[in-house]
Chains A and B, each alone.
Chain A
Amino acid sequence: MRLVHTLWRFTPLLLLAVVWEAVSRLGLVSEFALPPFSDVVTAFSRLADEGLWEHTAQSLYRGATGFACAVIVGVLAGVLMAWYRPVHILVNPLLRCLYPMPKSALIPLTIMWIGLGDNSKITLIFIGCLLPVVLSAFNAARGVDQVLIWSARSMGAREREVLWEVVVPAAMPEILSGIRISLALAFILLVSGELIIANNGIGYLIDILGEGGDYAGMFAGVVTISTIGFFADQGYVALTRRILAWRE
């Protein structure tokens, strides 16, 4: 029953795939503009032998490193800013100025600073994702119910204990949802950084396949990175539920 339900839920995707195949096979649109779905599948298995996984692994390494650094540094910085009021007064205006800046403006900067290798993308993702994480951790920690803090203190908790055992867990849900936004941003920066300039990586692969006229291959690359983005998000949501399980 459950299976039928899931199948029914995802039927629209199947429908789209069928329509895709049909319009292309029947010549309603040019095969160049939209290679038949089956060709894309074939191209996918061909590319899988020709380095698709190496490119993907390269991209994932860059994305994961930059993102992990941003999360660690960002959460620490955000929570500490909220905890020490003088720091907050000094840093908050800076955040307010920098936060609205479209993060893609950093791409030319990291290209110029570091060039086109791994470190350039890692730095890009690190800086780009840092602010949203800092800001959500900051707002979350500031929003923690004062009563919780007072009770912990009145029961003799030390400041450090209050911080790590009361403030951080209470702020966790909001911190985690801020990190989810950064995860999407990390993918955008990763793919566009690689599309613009790179020697390898999935964005680079999509770019050269498109320029070489191998559109079926290009679609296969697009589908690959989209799928990875989707599962990364699903995995993150599952992880979030795990981490927050104690709240239920």
Chain B
Amino acid sequence: MARTLGNDTPGTAGHSARRAFETFGPYLTISLLLIAWELASRLELVIAFLLPPLSVVIVRIATDFASGQLPMDIAITLYRTLVAFALAAIVGVSIGILISRNATVRWFFDPLISIGLPMPKIALLPVFMLWFGLFDLSKILMVAFSASFQIIIATWAATQSIEKELIWSAQSLGASRREILREVILPAAMPQILTGLQIALPICLIVVLITEMIMGGQGLGDSMLRSARYVDSPGVFAGIVEIGIVGFCVIRAMEVIRRRLLVWHQETREETTV
């Protein structure tokens, strides 16, 4: 950043070299790293077991895909993630709004949230297994529980920070409480609620994989842990690449949805980083 300020002299050879560097630099790093990965294990700089060659991993992913195992794992993991995320979103936003509108609800939930938010909720997994069994239900509830606290506080903070003038004007125009909630409070709180959801979504992915690793029952997490148990290192690396791609797509999709939902909002105009 600061270093290069003022050094830009447009039109010189150095300038165009820099432009080229800025355009192609990003691809350069990634390709170099991928090549280094392949070479390091082909030339036996590292043991192939610790880092199988990239080509082997790619072939492995292709085979898994062709056999139908990979598409099914992805579908199962995504299904659990998205159902749990939807559940967490509905419950979280509802509780968040109730908290901001009702003093008793606020009194009840305030200490629960201040303790529940920072605690490692995954420690409750054995309890969820005991209560809800070993199948989808306990996985989905565990994931939704882990993610919902972030959504509750985001919603609560969002409704808290709405300008009072907006609500007053709606009231003076004769809007009912319900209309104000639907037409004023929810839209005005939307950007911050969506930020809360964007924090919750990666948590859902992280926890879904953990539940699959611990309880089994198909999915990307289960198949990856099985590879690790059988010391099948191409399988583990294939899992990392697959999970990385799925995570990337899901999180990008959420950003696109945010932009769609907030077309009317000024924030959409600006570029965001990562």
Chain A interfacial positions (CB closer than 8 Å to B): 9-10, 12-13, 16, 32-33, 82-86, 88-109, 111-113, 135, 139, 141-142, 146, 149, 159, 162, 167, 184-185, 187-188, 190-192, 195-196, 202-203, 206-207, 210, 215, 218-219, 221-222, 225-227, 229-230, 232-234
Task: Render B203-245 as a binary contact track against A, CB cut-off 8 A, 1 for contact.
Answer: 0011111100110000011001101100101001101100110
Chain B interfacial positions (CB closer than 8 Å to A): 1-5, 21-22, 25-30, 33, 50, 107-112, 115, 117-120, 122-127, 129-131, 202, 205-210, 213-214, 220-221, 224-225, 227-228, 231, 233, 236-237, 239-240, 243-244, 247-248, 250-252, 273-274
On whether A225 and B26 interact (CB within 8 A), knowing A12-B112, A82-B1, the answer reads: no
**Could you tell me if B27 and A93 are in contact, using CB atoms closer than 8 angstroms?**
yes
**Could you tell me if B112 and A107 are in contact, using CB atoms closer than 8 angstroms?**
no
A88 touches which of B1, B5, B239 (Cβ 8 Å): B1
The residue on B at minimum CB distance from A63 is B120
**Could you tell me if A188 and B127 are in contact, using CB atoms closer than 8 angstroms?**
no
Chain A neighbourhood of B236, CB < 8 A: 108-109, 112
**Could you tell me if A85 and B120 are in contact, using CB atoms closer than 8 angstroms?**
no
Distance in angstroms between the alpha carbons of A145 and B48 in the assembled complex? 47
A123 to chain B, nearest CB (A): 12
**Could you tell me if B25 and A83 are in contact, using CB atoms closer than 8 angstroms?**
no
Chain B neighbourhood of A95, CB < 8 A: 274
**Could you tell me if A196 and B225 are in contact, using CB atoms closer than 8 angstroms?**
yes
Chain A neighbourhood of B120, CB < 8 A: 184, 187-188, 190-191, 225-226, 229
B239 touches which of A9, A10, A105 (Cβ 8 Å): A105
A139 touches which of B126, B213, B273 (Cβ 8 Å): B273
Distance in angstroms between the alpha carbons of A225 and B121 in the assembled complex? 9
**Could you tell me if B225 and A108 are in contact, using CB atoms closer than 8 angstroms?**
yes
Chain B neighbourhood of A93, CB < 8 A: 26-27, 29-30
Distance in angstroms between the alpha carbons of A96 and B21 in the assembled complex? 18
